[in-house]
Amino acid sequence: MTSAYEPLSLNVPEPGCRPGDTPDFSDFEIPRAGDVKRPPVDVDPDAIRDMAFSIVRVLNKEGEAVGDWAGDMSAAELREGLRHMMVLRTFDARMLTAQRQGKTSFYMQHLGEEAVSCAFARALQPGDMNFPTYRQAGLLVASGYPMLTMMNQIYSNAEDPLHGRQLPILYSSKEHGFFSVSGNLGTQFVQSVGWAMASAISGDTKIATGWIGDGSTAENDFHAAMVFASTYKAPVVLNIVNNQWAISTFQGIARGGVGTFAARGHGFGIASLRVDGNDYLAVHAVAKWAAERARRGCGPTLIEHVTYRAGGHSTSDDPSVYRSRREAAAWPLGDPLERLKTHLITIGEWSEERHAQAEAEILAEVTAVQKQAEAVGTLGDGKAPSPRDMFEGVYETMPPHLVRQRQEAGY
Amino acid sequence: MTMIEAIRDAHDVAMAADDRVVVFGEDVGFFGGVFRCTAGLQEKYGKSRCFDAPINESGIVGTAIGMAAYGLKPVIEIQFADYVYPAYDQIASEAARLRHRSNGDFTCPLVIRMPTGGGIFGGQTHSQSPEALFTHVSGLKVVLPSNPIDAKGLLLSAVADPDPVIFLEPKRLYNGPFDGHHDKPLTSWKNHPLGDVPDGDNAIPLGKATITRDGADVTVLAYGTMVYVAEAAAEETGVDAEIIDLRSLLPLDLDAISASVRKTGRCVIVHEATRTSGFGAELMSLVQETCFYHLEAPVIRVTGWDTPYPHAQEWEYFPGPARVGEALKKVMED
Ligand SMILES: Cc1ncc(C[n+]2csc(CCOP(=O)(O)OP(=O)(O)O)c2C)c(N)n1
Ligand SMILES: [Mg+2]
């Protein structure tokens, strides 16, 4: 029997570039800065469907801020923003080295993505709640969370607020609007929607933000979050950080044949747009717009932050095995720190000298804090919280079986 | 009052007392639930306190976790325990661990209700008893009432509890006690002393078992529908069994269990769930650890078979009074 059909074959998407290839982003369509218009915050999601296929950008090649989305931050605020990103980058570099030196088990850095969380944090109000992933520490850095506490957590030392129970960098700070990071991908996206629903149920004016990576949008909970956000018009800003990679898997595996991740919002009637994630001003402007929309009861917004994970996925990863070493340098949206620095210099609010001085100051500060943290303790130096503590806090009141087990363990 | 009415009443009492209590789930709002356990609540408390949810169990539990973290007290319904699996990740990885991993920075006071167990010709998708999948997870409490008074009292305690509680409702008991004699006429909770549910806030503490039948010869550990099956088996065999209704599997009333087994020297464990790694295995270990030198015979388990819950063969699967009776006789002979 011969079939009238050709044998089927499976479509497995491949990235444009693998180790040894020459990176080529010529297919990646990048609108000019200032091209995308800023709609009113109460816009009908249907009226901005095109925004899911474009990219909001403010900073142009010359370092000028242009278009509708420019102009909502003062020079002082921008300098502060630059400082936050510099702190985060320095912090990451120091902690990466500390991990290599065996002072902690694990670390994940933000290299290339600093603008996303640092700029976003500045668009929120006290009392709002972020449901972050492990790659949004900028939310803490830019909202004044003590760097020392972050390091104590990373070292699981005696002053770790989480008592050594949680993996390094999976911070928690209700006070700073930073929900305890789970480590299970996607689960918290839908929790952010629930938190936002609770705010609406309670007649509050606080909003929530959900965070998820490009790869993790494939999880069921991404879709669950969209259904609930859409149905209940929850006051939530849903953020997809598309840094092009999910460990070794390029974003096309999660995205499939669809145009963009942001376009997934269309089926749910959610206002959906993309932003240049390496443009501090654009991220901030879009975050403010979406937060205002949520706070005014206009419903959820889905934001795809288009960026690039310039470093390894984590300290356990070697990206040169699956992608070209030259890809990061070829990434067309540049480096977020360089771009903001250039902008500040262009408008006469910063200089190479001041930058070099700030860099030196920040390094000295981070190093000093690190010394303090290491004086308290590092992982495995015997100064960790007592093992007795692991039995605490499983429940508010320890049930009898846990009391027995704690005694059996000798604590 | 039926168990359904008792559960509805508990919701009513909790919602009236605390406007942070919110109730939602599939068909829970306007209609009041497929078993009607939330009937009238939307009308009484408004649509933002009792509402219908999309058919997405992970989303129902996930949003409830976010609400609990905000400061509300969600009481949510999973339409059947058989459909909780899409939400298992949210329950086991998130709700159960939030307090511990954040060192109390965030907590998760949350009640997840679901009808459990068979006996209604529900086949494999409306009959399962997944309690052991929850007792195995640290950070959860697991409660399983067997009558209207307990259902109301335990649900009120579950709502007041600061931690996530899995509240399993034996659906075969919703409308009346059931001893496994499926060919006999139905009995109802009307005129039954355990259907005489007191008004108001009569919370029953979690972690306390109750002895439903005093006896000298053998201790039977049971919960849910199996309490009535065990009672029937004791009457029919004439074995003087002491029957303990555990009511709460976690925390577990180990004191009540060991006091009874030390007295009788014999123990039969009964549950409807599949046997291997079932909660009976945990009970047997605990009995062995705490009562070994008082035991006069090996402990016996009577459980559902390790197969999917069948449809047409329901009564061959269900551990009814005949099988429990055989175990009672055997443990007396051993
Ligand atoms: C449920 C779950 N599955 C798998 C993992 C393992 N894992 C950790 S990070 C990661 C990649 C995530 O990629 P993406 O969502 O793009 O986020 P990014 O790391 O790029 O920020 C995977 C597969 C996990 N933590 N949780
Ligand atoms: Mg990614």
Cα–Cα distance measured from residue B293 to residue A332, given in angstroms and rounded to the nearest whole number: 75
Any idea where the domains of chain B sit in the sequence? Answer: 3-173, 207-333
Q: Which residues in chain A have Cβ-Cβ distances shorter than 8 Å to B289?
A: none
From the list B63, B90, B105, which residue is nearest A180 (CB)? B105
CA dist B241 and B227 (Å) reads: 12
Q: Which ipTM did the prediction report?
A: 0.95
Radius of gyration of the CA atoms of chain A, in A: 22
Beta carbons of A195 and B254 less than 8 Å apart: no
Q: Is B285 on the interface with A (CB under 8 A)?
A: no
Q: Is B203 left (phi over 0), alpha (psi -120 to 50) or beta?
A: beta
Q: Which residue of B has its CA nearest to A189?
A: B62
Record: contact B104-A182, CB cut-off 8 A: no
- Predicted confidence at residue A258, as pLDDT, reads 79
Q: Does domain B3-173 have CATH number 2.40.170.20?
A: no
The Cα A54–Cα A42 span in angstroms is: 20
Contact criterion met (CB < 8 Å) for A399 and B251: yes
Of the ligands numbered here, which is closest to the C-alpha atom of B90?
A: 1
Q: Do A198 and B107 make contact, defined as CB atoms within 8 angstroms? A: no
Percent of chain B clearing pLDDT 90 (strictly above): 100
Report how far ligand 1's centroid is from the alpha carbon of A372 (Å): 32
The first and second tokens of residue B210, run together, are 């109750």
Identify from B67, B88, B134 which residue to disrupt to test chain A contact, counting A C-beta atoms within 10 A and taking the largest count.
Answer: B67
Q: For residue B20, which residues of chain A lie inside 8 Å, CB to CB?
A: 202
Q: Whole-number mean pLDDT of chain B?
A: 97
| A226 C-alpha to ligand 2 centroid (Å) | 19
Query: Residue A1 has what pLDDT?
Result: 63
Per-residue pLDDT, A122: 98
CA separation for the pair A224, B57 (Å, rounded): 9
Residue of B23, B63, B98 to mutate when probing chain A, most A C-beta within 10 A: B63
Contacts of B138 in chain A (CB under 8 A): 394
A399 touches chain B (CB under 8 A): yes
Of A400, A374, A404, A407, residue with least CA distance to A156: A374
Chain A contact set for B59 (CB, 8 A): 190, 193, 221, 224-225, 227-228
| B93 at A interface, C-beta within 8 A | yes
Question: Considering only alpha carbons, which residue of chain B is nearest residue A203?
Answer: B48
For residue A251, the ligand 1 atom closest to its alpha carbon is 16
CB contact under 8 A, A193 and B49: no
Banded model confidence at residue B275, pLDDT cuts 50, 70, 90: very high
Is there a contact between A227 and B70 if contact means CB atoms under 8 Å apart?
Answer: no
Ligand located closest to A184 CA: 1
pLDDT tens digits, residue range B53-100?
999 999 999 999 999 999 999 999 999 999 999 999 999 999 999 999
Give contacts of B 119-138 with A, CB under 8 A: 138
Q: What beta strand segments (E) does B187-288 contain?
A: 210-213, 218-222, 241-245, 248-250, 267-274
Q: Which two tokens stand for residue A290?
A: 């979406």
Residue B107 to residue A227, Cβ atoms within 8 A:
no
In the block, tokens 């068909």 appear at B27
Q: Is A199 on the interface with B (CB under 8 A)?
A: yes
Residue B297 · residue B266 · CB < 8 Å: yes
Chain A, chain B: beta-carbon pairs less than 8 Å apart: 143
Which residues of B belong to the active site? 126
Burial classification of residue B228, based on how many CB atoms lie within 10 Å of its CB (0-12 exposed, 13-18 middle, 19 or more buried):
buried
Q: Which atom of ligand 1 is nearest to the CA of A213?
A: 15
Of B193, B214, B114, B190, nearest in space to B149 by CA: B193
Whether residue B205 contacts residue B165, with contact meaning beta carbons closer than 8 Å, is answered with: no
Residue B140 at interface with chain A, using a CB cutoff of 8 Å: no
Q: Could you give the CA distance from residue B58 to residue B50 in angstroms, rounded to a whole number?
A: 18
Predicted local confidence at residue B140, as pLDDT:
98
Q: Are A121 and A316 in contact (CB under 8 A)?
A: no
Q: What angle do CA A192, B96, B35 make, to 5 degrees?
A: 80
- Rounded to two decimals, the pTM is 0.97
Provide block-wise average pLDDT over 10 residues at a time, chain A (411 residues).
Answer: 89 93 92 98 98 98 97 95 98 98 97 98 98 98 98 97 96 98 97 98 98 98 98 98 97 92 98 98 98 98 98 95 95 98 98 98 98 96 87 97 95 91
Residue contact B72–A202, C-beta within 8 A: yes
Q: A222 C-alpha to center of ligand 1: Å?
A: 13
Reading the block at residue A347, the tokens are 């408008």
> Which residue of A lies nearest to B46 if distances are taken between CA atoms?
A201
Q: Within an 8 Å CB–CB cutoff, is residue A410 touching chain B? A: no
Which of B:293-332 have CB within 8 Å of A?
A: none
Residue nearest to atom 4 of ligand 1 (CA): A185
What was the pLDDT predicted at A27? 86
Centre of ligand 2 to C-alpha B124, Å, is 39
Give the Å distance between the CA of A246 and the centre of ligand 1.
6
- Are domains B3-173 and B207-333 of this chain identical in fold? yes
- Select the residue from A134, A162, A201 to test the B interface by mutation, using most B Cβ atoms within 10 A: A201
Q: Give me the CATH topology for the region B207-333.
A: Rossmann fold (3.40.50)
List pocket residues of ligand 1, CB cut-off 6 Å. Answer: A 133, 135, 183-185, 213-216, 241, 243, 245-247, 309, 313
Are B212 and B165 in contact by the 8 Å Cβ rule? The answer is: no
Residues from chain A that touch B207, judged by Cβ atoms under 8 A, are 399-400
Residue A260's Cβ-count burial label (10 Å; 0-12, 13-18, 19+) is: buried
- What pLDDT shows up at residue B260? 98
